[in-house]
Structure 1
């Protein structure tokens, strides 16, 4: 009889298991009890036949005759480590044994050759994900997504996907949202049924309202127990109905490749959330179907404005003496074209808060951020303007675009035009196309005001005021202006900066002067806790896309925001992510305290009890430094930014000095 050759799989080194001990090891997916006794080694099936207790967590026991037995830690059943047989009296016939050999101190266990993998429903769907350009999955593997997780694992092993295992599913959704905001490409987030799926909700709403493509892959209980209240069974289709543009269960009779294709097309085209629900029993159903792909499924994205709208826009621009441009987040991919138009007509460019950094503050036409989180420069030019050209802005009340001014609004979504109030000229079209076509029809008016000189003057006034604020000190911590002055000086020009919400965000908007950095935030949702998970997503984008390769990720939060997902710092450590987190610690929810005072409420329950976050970072395996003196800021931030791996700078700040 021919004996098939074995696969010899390394399971450890002889130094790792002392004499007289057992331990659990894994060869491929087989759990094995490895034992070392009387100078001998043996490998046995790890599951006790009684109740599958883990024999590798048990012990070696010697009988009165000196014979060794492996004893199950759960109920004391014994097995001979060399034969797998129990002593007399047990009904069970014993345990399977595996061949074992030792070479150069390394321990190998022999297993039969792994059978060829049988292709499944989730293999088809994972291959379809890859074909549509998905490169990254954030998630948590669990009991109701194991078949899907294995399909993802196979794609990871082939180099087609990368996976990040997070500590909380909410962080997976925020990471995927930030990834989508930065790249315009969908990442996936993987969860189990019930609470794993519902934990995604906040991050998915962040993606939805900020128009970021995300694919949510949620496990589900078996189809046979839908409805009667099985463990972790909730109606996920209803739960995801409001937050997703596309949400469908994956059934055994579904067209699986088409279902995944439609989900991804929806996420990409609609810039929204798509959700697929995978019942446990369907995930491993065999399938020989072909995977889906995007060829022939996507059209071009350019939408040209009408000739009449272009003519009216040119007339308004050519007649303006003080035109100004509001550059919003919706124009992020064509910011160079917007800046070129501004240069041609001599218009200052102010950004929305979400659009901060789309024009460097070092540009002669940059006017800073408009609105509550902005600068007095932008406010001044808004007040003086005789024409506002709004490109990619949603007119949020946070921004404060003056509705009584003449306004040209350009957007590629017709529902955004004049959404909150009428504008002088709503123009439907893709913003880059508008800039290209209008640039040939406009020029700076002959009697236009020299706004470049005014910009120089206004920046000088604001920078002088910022310097005077640095001297403010009430003895309760460092001024936020000092933090962001240091970060302005030290932050790499091409860094990616996810920011949280709270006082730290308002201060960042006012004081940090971008020079080309890309800024990510939870815009319309304004969710606390966004920045650290977003940093995970942004770092992954630097690995997945050449245009972001090598860019430093620097996230910013307060102590309240960091506390939401603090354990994701261990995720950054696990995957060696080169992330620096700047944490402004004022031991309270400072923005809420200010709102209570402003509304003449008593300040109540906004104080926080914190550990040393710098020490926490070190305990997690990263770099951590605590700063209590502004003189230490530059060295601390510089060291953290140059650290190769996760780092955190905890800065004790004054909640009133923002």
Structure 2
């Protein structure tokens, strides 16, 4: 599209993410004045249920159909009801969630597993505000997500009408773009643009706010594709830009050649895979570069699965609770070749001590990330897959890594992930993770909430494929795991879906278990129950002299019985004996199952780099903090 396309009205909510010159704002019709631009109808061979829409709501649904959206997650309500009525005549699957936050997380996970934008719906007011946590989560992790929200009629906007909220204003900081559509003739193109932008370049969440009178009003306008006309009454907030629909940026040949030469000349090179390797469908190119030239690999947490963790080149993931050997390799490398990472504080610790001896090659589709947190000596802005292929072609020779690989292997032996598991003590959470890993196929999808259980899942599960670790990284959203499992199981019904949750996280969104039962989803939840908000308690023990304020639960529900009440299978696990059989039985359940695992309440997550510390100063026990 050109700057005259509907994308010119996209509300890019962070100036640092602008990758194109801001175009002049389009003329708009409706209550904002200006003219109206008509569009051609869909091609005559389009057979969608709303190929020729008659209302704004039908135009919205037609746009989703044109984009190939066949699954949606949401909660009904008054202002969004016209859109739901239009969905009645489609073949799309709608998964009715128990809470709008769950709808956003489920759609987010659906998008992570499929690589296509997940879609969620909510009504105005509290429906829309309940989406905010999920939108913020997707924004932090650059996940493709589209939200459609109902809004009060335009003549009531600003008058504090029933269930009115300034949804565009509220969600501007946590979306890649958002719109209010105030002309039924523009609804189709606005929704089409939102879906396209969510998946374009650096992916992220978009939102279209749909006033009820607009979705109920008549229209004969259908969404167009690659139309250069402006989008009347798609009212953006903040700076605008056109998505890079004509191609992603590409670094010049000399920049690629310099980066390739630096890699070839390095004595201690290290490849770092961030979440952008997976989002950019660049795992094949990344793996080929590492294996062809025998360069050791570390990942970020969002990058888990980009490189097989059972490959001898893989040092697993780095950062606050990453492996000691990954953090040691980052500290001692002389060239860090990083792809698709924003170098957040959980990875870097104290930036001044991060990779102190290394030159940095940084490949990212978003130029705003280059040198934002870590200075890039060799910046390469572009699509990860294409850039990696060009670097591989430009490499004059492989670096000599034999000695460096031997040193990395020594660190692996020196700092292994390990834990004590006395048979006469409470079961260890790490043991549960390993037992489930052993009992499931390699392509199993793992979702988590946030906390200690998330770290144990990331540490003790062997991930081999991309899009198999679905978690909340940047925002750290407790309660993410179960609704994410609903989204993952909907996206991949033929694959095993396992959720590791904590008792604290599970209590935040356990109502979504009703959705899993109703939809007959084959997912298994393992609640690593230590009767506490475990990570908070660990920090209190390590940094607040053991003053455990508001981190422990004097009572928690019987999660197995709770599962039974929802109609799921409920199992209780308290000891090592019979663990394999219990795990197998839960996995073999036809439908959702919950295993209430009563784990050692005093177990902590190690290694650990204290907040703001240096990566090589990782603690292996609490005494090291």
TM range (shorter): 0.7 to 0.9
Match of 1:275 in 2: 207
Deviation of 1:441 (Å): 3.4
Could you say what secondary structure the match of 2:544 adopts? coil
Match of 2:117 in 1: 186
* Contact 2:482–2:525 (8 Å) recurs in 1: yes
Return closer, same or farther for 1:635/1:151 CA change in 2, 3 Å cut-off: same
* Contact 1:576–1:645 (8 Å) recurs in 2: yes
* Contact 2:359–2:377 (8 Å) recurs in 1: yes
Match of 2:376 in 1: 423
In the alignment, the residues of structure 2 paired with residue 605 and residue 314 of structure 1 have an alpha-carbon distance, to the nearest angstrom, of 52
* Contact 1:539–1:579 (8 Å) recurs in 2: yes
Match of 2:286 in 1: 338
Q: Within the alignment, does 1:387 sit opposite 2:318 as a pair?
A: no
Could you say what secondary structure the match of 2:298 adopts? strand
In the alignment, the residues of structure 2 paired with residue 370 and residue 132 of structure 1 have an alpha-carbon distance, to the nearest angstrom, of 37
* Contact 2:184–2:214 (8 Å) recurs in 1: no
Deviation of 1:639 (Å): 1.9
Deviation of 1:453 (Å): 4.6
The one of 478, 484, 493 aligned to 1:528: 478
Unaligned runs of 5+ in 2: 1-51, 229-242, 349-353, 605-625
Higher strand share: 1
Alignment of 1:371-450 (within 5 A): 371-400=319-348, 401-442=354-395, 447-450=400-403
In the alignment, the residues of structure 1 paired with residue 461 and residue 304 of structure 2 have an alpha-carbon distance, to the nearest angstrom, of 10
Match of 2:59 in 1: 124
Deviation of 1:124 (Å): 1.6
Deviation of 1:421 (Å): 3.1
Return closer, same or farther for 1:566/1:439 CA change in 2, 3 Å cut-off: same
Match of 1:15 in 2: none
The one of 252, 255, 259 aligned to 1:313: 259
Return closer, same or farther for 1:576/1:253 CA change in 2, 3 Å cut-off: closer
Deviation of 1:443 (Å): 6.5
Larger-Rg structure: 1
In the alignment, the residues of structure 1 paired with residue 361 and residue 209 of structure 2 have an alpha-carbon distance, to the nearest angstrom, of 43
The one of 514, 517, 523 aligned to 1:579: 523
The one of 607, 617, 630 aligned to 2:576: 630
In the alignment, the residues of structure 1 paired with residue 535 and residue 149 of structure 2 have an alpha-carbon distance, to the nearest angstrom, of 35
In the alignment, the residues of structure 2 paired with residue 434 and residue 199 of structure 1 have an alpha-carbon distance, to the nearest angstrom, of 39
Match of 1:552 in 2: 496
Deviation of 1:626 (Å): 0.9
CA RMSD of aligned residues (A): 2.4
Q: Within the alignment, does 1:478 sit opposite 2:423 as a pair?
A: no
The Cα offsets for residues 20-77 of structure 1, whole Å up to 9 and x where unpaired, read as xxxxxxxxxxxxxxxxxxxxxxxxxxxxxxxxxxxxxxxxxxxxxxxxxxxxxxxxxx
The Cα offsets for residues 616-658 of structure 1, whole Å up to 9 and x where unpaired, read as 1122111221100022322222222222211111111123223
Return closer, same or farther for 1:118/1:253 CA change in 2, 3 Å cut-off: closer
In the alignment, the residues of structure 2 paired with residue 620 and residue 481 of structure 1 have an alpha-carbon distance, to the nearest angstrom, of 28
Q: Within the alignment, does 1:653 sit opposite 2:584 as a pair?
A: no
Deviation of 1:406 (Å): 1.7
Which deviates more, 508-517 or 140-149?
Answer: 508-517
The Cα offsets for residues 145-165 of structure 1, whole Å up to 9 and x where unpaired, read as 22111111211xxx2x21000
Match of 1:616 in 2: 562
Deviation of 1:446 (Å): 7.0
TM-score of the superposed pair, with normalisation by structure 1: 0.76
Deviation of 1:290 (Å): 2.6
* Contact 2:264–2:399 (8 Å) recurs in 1: no
Deviation of 1:128 (Å): 1.1
Deviation of 1:470 (Å): 3.1
* Contact 1:145–1:280 (8 Å) recurs in 2: yes
Could you say what secondary structure the match of 1:242 adopts? helix
Unaligned runs of 5+ in 1: 1-116, 544-549
Q: Within the alignment, does 1:605 sit opposite 2:550 as a pair?
A: yes
Alignment of 1:296-311 (within 5 A): 299=245, 301=247, 303-311=249-257
Match of 1:540 in 2: 490
* Contact 2:122–2:150 (8 Å) recurs in 1: yes
* Contact 1:322–1:449 (8 Å) recurs in 2: no
Q: Within the alignment, does 1:262 sit opposite 2:193 as a pair?
A: yes
* Contact 1:246–1:275 (8 Å) recurs in 2: yes
Match of 1:98 in 2: none
In the alignment, the residues of structure 2 paired with residue 288 and residue 441 of structure 1 have an alpha-carbon distance, to the nearest angstrom, of 53
Q: Within the alignment, does 1:496 sit opposite 2:428 as a pair?
A: no
In the alignment, the residues of structure 1 paired with residue 327 and residue 384 of structure 2 have an alpha-carbon distance, to the nearest angstrom, of 24
Could you say what secondary structure the match of 2:571 adopts? strand
In the alignment, the residues of structure 2 paired with residue 531 and residue 301 of structure 1 have an alpha-carbon distance, to the nearest angstrom, of 35
Q: Within the alignment, does 1:284 sit opposite 2:216 as a pair?
A: yes
Could you say what secondary structure the match of 1:415 adopts? helix
The one of 287, 291, 300 aligned to 1:352: 300
In the alignment, the residues of structure 2 paired with residue 246 and residue 514 of structure 1 have an alpha-carbon distance, to the nearest angstrom, of 33
Deviation of 1:451 (Å): 4.5
Match of 1:143 in 2: 78
In the alignment, the residues of structure 1 paired with residue 401 and residue 211 of structure 2 have an alpha-carbon distance, to the nearest angstrom, of 65
In the alignment, the residues of structure 1 paired with residue 513 and residue 561 of structure 2 have an alpha-carbon distance, to the nearest angstrom, of 12
Alignment of 1:15-34 (within 5 A): none
* Contact 2:334–2:357 (8 Å) recurs in 1: no
Match of 1:362 in 2: 310
Match of 2:175 in 1: 244
* Contact 2:423–2:576 (8 Å) recurs in 1: no
Could you say what secondary structure the match of 2:394 adopts? coil
In the alignment, the residues of structure 1 paired with residue 582 and residue 147 of structure 2 have an alpha-carbon distance, to the nearest angstrom, of 38
* Contact 2:105–2:134 (8 Å) recurs in 1: yes
* Contact 1:182–1:538 (8 Å) recurs in 2: yes
Return closer, same or farther for 1:452/1:633 CA change in 2, 3 Å cut-off: farther
In the alignment, the residues of structure 1 paired with residue 164 and residue 248 of structure 2 have an alpha-carbon distance, to the nearest angstrom, of 44
In the alignment, the residues of structure 1 paired with residue 397 and residue 293 of structure 2 have an alpha-carbon distance, to the nearest angstrom, of 4
Deviation of 1:570 (Å): 0.8
Deviation of 1:461 (Å): 5.0
Match of 1:176 in 2: 107
Deviation of 1:241 (Å): 2.3
* Contact 1:470–1:482 (8 Å) recurs in 2: no
What count of residue pairs does the alignment treat as equivalent?
528
In the alignment, the residues of structure 2 paired with residue 172 and residue 164 of structure 1 have an alpha-carbon distance, to the nearest angstrom, of 8
The one of 91, 98, 111 aligned to 1:167: 98
* Contact 1:555–1:580 (8 Å) recurs in 2: yes
* Contact 1:218–1:277 (8 Å) recurs in 2: yes
Could you say what secondary structure the match of 1:651 adopts? strand
The one of 110, 128, 152 aligned to 2:87: 152
TM-score of the superposed pair, with normalisation by structure 2: 0.80
Deviation of 1:204 (Å): 0.6
In the alignment, the residues of structure 1 paired with residue 274 and residue 107 of structure 2 have an alpha-carbon distance, to the nearest angstrom, of 22
